[in-house]
Amino acid sequence: MLVAVVLGALILPLATAHTIFPMALPHEEVEHEAGDHLDLLPLLALTVLSTLPLVGLVRGAARWRSAHRRLCLLTRGGVPLTSGAVAYVRLPGEQVALFTAGLLHSVVYATVGAERVLRPEAFHAALLHEQAHVQHHDVQWLALAALAEAAASSIPGSRDAFRSLRIETEWLADRTALDAGVGRHHLFEAIVGAAGGTAGAAALSGVGTTERLRWLADGREDCPVAERSMVPVLAGLSAPPMIAHALLWTGLICAICLQHFR
């Protein structure tokens, strides 16, 4: 569904672009009459509205590239280490931060502050959480979700849908860490300790911190947030182009009929 949202943001505006040029349509007499009518304004407005997802997609890609550059600077000079069979890269810094990043090759990062502040059990729990992101290819999916969210930012309710998706991704990593033998209280301690740290593509306390901590404390097994469908988001992307095409062809048919029966 994420792929469909991104492709829709790319293709639908391009497929609707021709509606902004009514004078370029065939039938000369129809062109002249249609170009003088103010009733083309709703068609023009819908066509412009249809381009918003594409604009958002471009802006989202620019933000991702900027964040990638900052990440390269942040992770430069890291030291590769291994702890409990989990490979990670140690970064300088006293803040407690653990995250996974890298679109082509996902890597777990942890700061010196995380090693010092967190107890060994909590630090190991955090590493297993981040390792789960690598195993699930979450960095790639979250990057795609970020593009889709940027494209659908003008659609009501899209923000809640994507937030629910990101929380579910973090919860699945929590669930995988617990299945690997991590204690709930150790993971709880790690998330609290990392709260407010540097957020990467998949950070330990990047999203849904309150919901996840409550889930760990309550001992529940189900996901802490209700799953939200992406169908309304895709429908919101599709509606303006579809209405624009409906108006265009209805207007053309009416104009041709009027011209024929005069």
Which amino acid makes up residue 163? R
> According to the model, what pLDDT value does residue 84 have?
84
Q: Give the Cα separation of 125 and 223 in Å (integer).
A: 19
Copy the structure tokens of residue 147: 């593009």
Residue 57: what pLDDT? 80
pLDDT at position 85 is 87
pLDDT at 39: 54
The angle that helices 158-179 and 138-151 make with each other, rounded to 10 degrees, is 170
Q: Looking at residue 76, what is its pLDDT?
A: 79
Count CA atoms within 13 Å of residue 12 on its CB side. Answer: 31
Q: What residues of the chain score a pLDDT lower than 50?
A: 23-35
Return the closest-CA partner of residue 199 out of 208, 189, 211, 187: 208
CA distance 200 to 100: 6
The per-residue pLDDT for 29 is 46
Task: Please give the Cα distance from 94 to 84 (Å, whole number).
Answer: 22
Token pair for 44 = 């023009």
pLDDT of residue 4: 63
